[in-house]
Structure 1
C-alpha cells in the first residue's frame, strides 16, 4: 500500500502568486497525496484565487484565518491533524518539478532514517562542486543526498512519525532550528541528488520571477529580505546566490550549531550584514 503524503500550502496577499503556484501544486499530486490549504488575511482577490480550487478532489482541508498568523500555526495545524505517512509544505511562491513527491517518497521508503529531504530551490550556477561534493553521500538503494542539517521550508518531505516524536514547532522556533533538532535525534536531512528542482518565484533570477523591478520587490518584500535590509533586485539576487553557497559550505558537525560555536557563527553573520550595509546590531 502506497504511503499517504499530506502537503500544506499557506497563502497570503498575493493572488498573482496563487494563480500560478496552487494549480501547479495540484498538478504534481498523485492519488496518494492530499493538499491542505491555509489562507491568511482577508485580501479578497487572493482568497478568491484560493477558493477557486478549494473544492478540488485533491484538496483535503481548507482553513481561512482572517488574521495573518504567518507560518507556525498553519504548520502545526497540519502536523497535529494529519494522519498520513509524510508531511510537506510548498510555499505559494514555489513550483516543485513534476514527480517530486514520488521521488522523495521512494527515497524515504528505502531509508527510514531520512528526515527532512527536500527539493533544490537554487539555480545551476549556484552549485559549486568543490563545496558540495564532499557532502554528497549515497544511501540504501543508491539514493543520494547533498547532506545538510536543514533544508528550506518548502518542497520537503518529512515522516510524520518523526514529528510525533520531536513534537510541534515551538513559539519562535524556525524550520531550520527544527531540522537541526531532528538531526540531533539521528535524522538524516538534505537535498535529493541529482537535484529535484523547485522554481522559486521570489528569486529574481528565475525566468518566472515576480520581481522584474525594484518596485516589484518592495511591494512584496520577502521576510528574509526585510530582515537583511535588502531593497533592490540586484542585492536580492546576490543574496540568493550567497544563500546557496552558505548551505553548501555548512558544517555537518552538529557541535557547530550549539553553545559558543553557534554564538560565534551568529556574530560572524551579523558582522557580514553590517559590512554589506544590510543591518544593525
Structure 2
C-alpha cells in the first residue's frame, strides 16, 4: 500500500489540475489523503468535486492554516502504507512517478527519501551535479542530496519509524538530514522524473504571469525571502536548482560550527538587504 498526502490551500485553479492528476497516477493499491487548510470556499469546492473518487481515502479540514508539518505528521501517524509520499497542490506529477520510485525502493534497501525533479532543463548543470550522481543495484541512479523538496517524494515507512515525526522546530529539509545521519540515502531519481511546479513562473500552468499576480497571492517562500517581482521569483528558482545540485554530501557541513556560520551569514544578509539568502 502507498499513502500519498496532498495539502490544499487557497489555490482552486491549481487543485482542479493537481488533485485529479494525483488521483489518476495513484495505483490500485494507493490511497490519497487530502488535508485542507483554511476556509477558501472556491478551493473547498474544487476538492469537493473529487470526494467520491475511489482513490480519495481521507479528507480533513483545518479551518486554520496549520501549515505543512501538522498535516505531514497526521499522514505519517494515521496511514499504514509501506510507502508514504506527499504532493503539493501546486504540483503535477509525471505518470511514471510512483511506479519508478516504488521499484527503486524495492530494489535498493538503503533508499530513504527519493523524489521527482521540479526544475526545467535550463537549470540543469551537468558538471555541477556529476560528482553527486551515483548508481545502485537494479539499474537505478540518483542525483544524491541529503534533502529533497517536500513534494513529489516517496519514503519508506521504516524511515519514518526510525526518524520519527517532524519536530516543532524543524523543516522537512532538516528532517531529511536526520534521516541521512542514520544512513538513509536521499536524492532525485535520474534520469529525472518530472514534477511540474506550477508556482515556478516558467511553468505553462503558473498563475504568476505578472508582478501583480505575484503580489496578490505571494507564496510563503517568496514572502520569507523578500521576493516581490516575477523576475526575482524566477531567479530564486534558478538559484535553488544550483544550490541543490552543488550542495555538499559531507554531513558535517550541516551541523556544528559550519551550520552556525551559515546562520550568521543569513542574519548579516537579512540585516543589510532585508532578505535571507536562497
Q: Give the drift of 1:51.
A: 1.2
Measure the CA separation in 1 of the matches of 2:18 and 2:212. Answer: 22
**3-state SS, counterpart of residue 88 of structure 2:** coil
Deviates more, 1:262-271 or 1:65-74: 262-271
| Match status 1:99 vs 2:106 | no
Whether the 8 Å contact between 2:117 and 2:194 is mirrored in structure 1 is yes
C-alpha displacement at 1:277, in angstroms?
Answer: 5.5
Q: Does 1:134 align with 2:125?
A: no
SS at match of 2:60: strand
Pairing of 1:20-99 with structure 2 (within 5 A): 20-99=17-96
Which range is displaced more, 15-24 or 260-269?
260-269
How far apart in 2 are the matches of 1:61 and 1:208? 27
Aligned to 2:187: 190
| Distance of 1:31 and 1:267 partners within structure 2 | 49
Q: How far off its partner does 1:20 sit?
A: 1.2
Q: Deviations over 1:140-167 (max 9, x none)?
A: 1110000000000000000011101111
Q: Rate the CA distance shift 1:123–1:271 in 2: closer, same or farther, 3 A.
A: farther
Unpaired runs of at least 5, structure 2 = none
User: Contact 2:146 / 2:180 at 8 angstroms: preserved in 1?
Assistant: yes
Q: How does 1:93-172 map to 2 (within 5 A)?
A: 93-172=90-169
Q: How big is the shift at 1:267?
A: 3.0
SS of 1:90's equivalent? strand
Residue-pair matches, total = 277
Structure-2-length-normalised TM-score? 0.96
Greater CA drift, 196-205 or 16-25: 16-25
Cα distance between partner residues in 1 of 2:274 and 2:38? 33
Name the Cα RMSD after superposition: 1.4
1:250 aligns with 2:210: no
User: How big is the shift at 1:117?
Assistant: 0.2
